[in-house]
Chain A
Amino acid sequence: MVALVIVLALFFDFTNGFHDTANAMATPIATGALKPRVAVAIAAVLNLVGAFLSTEVARTISGGLIREGAGGIQITPTMIFAGLIGAIMWNLATWLLGLPSSSSHALFGGLIGAVIVGTGFGAIDPSVLMTKIVLPAILAPFIAAIVAFVVTKIAYGITAGPKADQARKRFKYGQVFTSSLVSLAHGTNDAQKTMGIITLTLIAGGFQASGTGPEFWVIAVCALAIALGTYMGGWRIIKTIGTAITDIAPPQGFAAEASTTATILASSHLGFALSTTQVASGSVIGAGLGKNRRGVRWRVAGRIALAWLVTLPAAAVMAAVAELVARLGPWGIAADAVVGAAVIVLMFRRSRRNPVNHKNVASEISVHSAHTPTMSMPNAPPSISNKSARHSPVPAPRANERNVH
């Protein structure tokens, strides 16, 4: 059981990696500041480094959300197992749809669902749920969008002049640094969650003394899993953040990344943790608005917002079902594992029907500059020029999607 949970936790770490590559690397890929393969390689290395750098171990993964430990409830490896199944399913489903949802929310949702089924609603602290998850989730994109809006205005204002276009291309060099900072910050945060999960499981299984930090091998495998996931590149999500929300020029990319970096660093150091995914998406929206008030495709933004709302409950429901089945005994757990594996394989197969990879994630840019909107976003409207957007609030039909492949 413990081994199974560790394998699942590492797989979750992997999905976390490829889900979140986009946070740092969607904008530099979109502006051509970094070649797609180079971008994901940098992100992977920095995630690996980041995972080792951080010594602050998230010993309480849930941050008080679940009343675990002495006087509280006993989290069993089965609950963690079910929680991870829910989180992985949701991460893969949103990836398939190209939606940037928070991996942390999926993980929390999964654990909450499993724990509620396992021990009842008393296990969850609703006030912590509000202050740690719901309100930050609402505020994060706004604060990032406002900051990105302001700095995009600044970037365009200062560089305005006779040779503005030529000058603004130079922001690409800056993008390399800002996007790398986002990757590094991500590595120090997100690999921690899986380390915490595995350590919690080892303690629950009696393999490790209570109250101790993660073993070195746990840190190493978690770092590797998140780096590998990052290197695989969640191209679908990169496409959404980089090209579907708005068309990004180098100054906007730089401004968005600077805002993401500043917001994440400020929040993690001043004790108001915000989701990297939500901050990054908010920044891109702000940068889009900063250049052109009609530059944001609100339908795409709305879909993303909806995904954020649904993430926690959806992962919770899937984990709750998995936990119900797992409670039937060893056969239940086996059934969970088999069904889970089958769904994962199905989703990967489904994804190959309209693949998005390092080749066509970049082809987008040439398509955009040529003003022929034939892009294909999985389940999102094709790109529309600002001019046509003014006349029709509803994006053009998706008929031209199949031209691409």
Chain B
Amino acid sequence: MIAWAEFGIVAVASLVGACVLVTFASVGIRLVESRERTRAARPAAGHLYGAGALAAFAVCAATVVFGIYLIVPAFN
């Protein structure tokens, strides 16, 4: 019979992984947009947005690196 528990784990893990990646990418993109808008008027706020975007993209990069780690059997 089919292993429903395994299937459930796969479903949850897929959802969590995709959500983390897409959420942080979206937040980063949103912050980049905010930075572009405010940079000229309020440089300090622009820097803050920029730093936030960088942090969000760093999480995305980490997710991608983790993906590569999973793909390459030699790392496991």
- Where the two chains meet, the residues of A that have a C-beta atom closer than 8 Å to any C-beta of B are 50, 53-56, 127, 130-131, 135, 139, 143-144, 146-148, 150-151, 154-155, 157-159, 161, 163, 166-168, 170-171, 174, 177-178, 181, 184-185, 188, 251, 254-255, 258-259, 261-263, 265-267, 269-272, 274
Contact = CB atoms under 8 A, between A and B. Distances in A.
A267 B14 contact: yes
A283 B9 CA distance: 18
Interface of B: 1-3, 6-7, 9-11, 13-19, 21-23, 25-27, 29-30, 32-33, 37, 60, 64, 67-68, 70-74
> A-B pairs with the 6 shortest C-beta distances?
A262-B17, A158-B26, A266-B13, A151-B22, A262-B18, A263-B14
B67 A270 contact: no
A139 B14 CA distance: 13
B33 A266 contact: no
B26 A159 contact: yes
Contact of A181 (B3, B37, B67, B73): B67
Given A135-B2, A263-B10, A158 B30 contact: yes
Contacts of A255: 18, 22
Contacts of A131: 1-3
A43 to B, nearest CB: 14
B71 A171 contact: no
Contact of A147 (B3, B14, B26, B70): B14
30 contacts: A55-B73, A146-B11, A147-B18, A150-B19, A151-B21, A151-B22, A154-B22, A155-B26, A157-B26, A159-B26, A163-B33, A170-B33, A171-B25, A171-B29, A181-B68, A188-B73, A254-B22, A254-B25, A255-B18, A255-B22, A262-B13, A262-B15, A265-B71, A266-B9, A266-B10, A267-B10, A269-B70, A270-B9, A272-B3, A272-B7
Contacts, number: 135
Contacts of A148: 18
Scoring B1, B7, B11 by chain A CB atoms within 10 A of each residue's CB, the highest score goes to B11
B22 A53 contact: no
Given A130-B2, A161-B33, A272-B6, A155 B11 contact: no
A265 B67 contact: yes
A259 B23 CA distance: 12
Given A143-B11, A167-B29, A174-B60, A154 B17 contact: no
A181 B25 CA distance: 16
Contact of B6 (A147, A150, A261, A270): A270
A169 B30 CA distance: 11
B10 to A, nearest CB: 5
Given A143-B11, A171-B25, A185-B71, 12 more contacts: A54-B73, A146-B11, A150-B18, A159-B26, A166-B33, A178-B64, A181-B67, A251-B26, A254-B22, A261-B21, A262-B21, A266-B14
